[in-house]
Structure 1
Amino acid sequence: MDTRTEGFKQVRGFFTLGLSAVEYVGLLVVGFATSYSMFQETQTMVAAGRVGLSDLLLMFLYLEVLAMIGQYFRAGQLPVRFPLYIAMVALARYLILDLKEMSETRMLAIAMAILLLTVAVLVIRYGHLRYPYLEEAERAGRPEPAAPLPGTTPPPA
């Protein structure tokens, strides 16, 4: 099958446009649902007359989801760090909420999971800064990656 034909390009463009539309509608639904949940949680806090640490962490979870959606709308891509941040906050909230009923082994496992996610974010950030994607390097005015790849010599300046 020749993928260079005009008909194939039109079909691919049609499907790409359709998938993008479904993707944006899905993001809008998630954004509205998150905003509504955040509003409901705020009403619950006002009715209770108090705000606990778990409530604040839940609000941060909502904000992270909204930030993730906003980043996708702005840049058209989603950094893998955002879901990792959400997972860290969710685990911290779980640890705080169930601390009294939790065994020491489970507490240690959750703390280690948070530490592992933190290390993953640091590794991803380091790799992204040290070895940027080629299109990002070109946009920044650098035709080459910021650092030479291991085992290669740097290009002459």
Structure 2
Amino acid sequence: MNIKWAEKLRKSLHGTADSLGNLCVESFHYLALFGIGGITAWAAVVTFLEMLSKGGVSVDDILLLFIYLELGAMVGIYFKTNHMPIRFLLYVAITALTRLLIGDVSHHKAPDEGLLYVCGGILLLAFSILVVRYASYRYPSSRVLDANGKEVDEGR
């Protein structure tokens, strides 16, 4: 009889600790996402106001706004799906390298081998997106989650 009581107490403590741990992790995720989303929106507004105050817009400025847009989209997708698509990070990286490429060529010096490195990086990232898209199409995730995020066995 004592053993059953101890096992019941252990399961109860485990369930409470598991629930508390999940609450802490989810709270941290939401707090961090709100912070990242807020900072991204703030940075986009500041950049936009700076563009208005200087009276002109460069391609660098537009590409920077696209980076903010992609970061905001990533936060929004994570809120909705609880998954972070790697493709959006690759899009941000491509946009950042394109911004670097345009800024370097138009503002500074004549093109050199650094230009080839940046272009090679963009090409590598574009190829990475192709690989990720092919892999997700060819090998889709077969996990089904319930409303609590627990995996559901559908008779497989």
Partner residue in 2 for 1:10 = 16
Specify which of 74, 84, 96 is matched with residue 80 of structure 2: 74
Partner residue in 2 for 1:88 = 94
For these two proteins, the number of residue pairs brought into alignment is 135
* Separation of aligned partners in 2, 1:82 and 1:11: 35
Listed as ranges, the gaps of 5+ residues in structure 2 are 1-6, 145-153
* Separation of aligned partners in 2, 1:8 and 1:46: 57
Partner residue in 1 for 2:131 = 123
**Matched residue SS, 1:32:** helix
TM-score by length of 2: 0.80
Partner residue in 2 for 1:147 = none
* Separation of aligned partners in 1, 2:56 and 2:29: 38
* Separation of aligned partners in 1, 2:96 and 2:41: 17
* Separation of aligned partners in 1, 2:109 and 2:27: 45
Percent identity reads: 33
Larger Rg belongs to? 2
Structure with the bigger RCO (C-alpha within 8 Å, sep 6+) is 2
Question: C-alpha root-mean-square deviation of aligned residues, in Å?
Answer: 1.9
Partner residue in 1 for 2:4 = none
102-111 or 114-123: which moved more? 102-111
Partner residue in 2 for 1:139 = none
1:51 maps to a residue whose letter is V
94-103 or 123-132: which moved more? 94-103
| 1:104–1:8 distance in 2 versus 1, CA, 3 Å | same
* Separation of aligned partners in 1, 2:82 and 2:34: 14
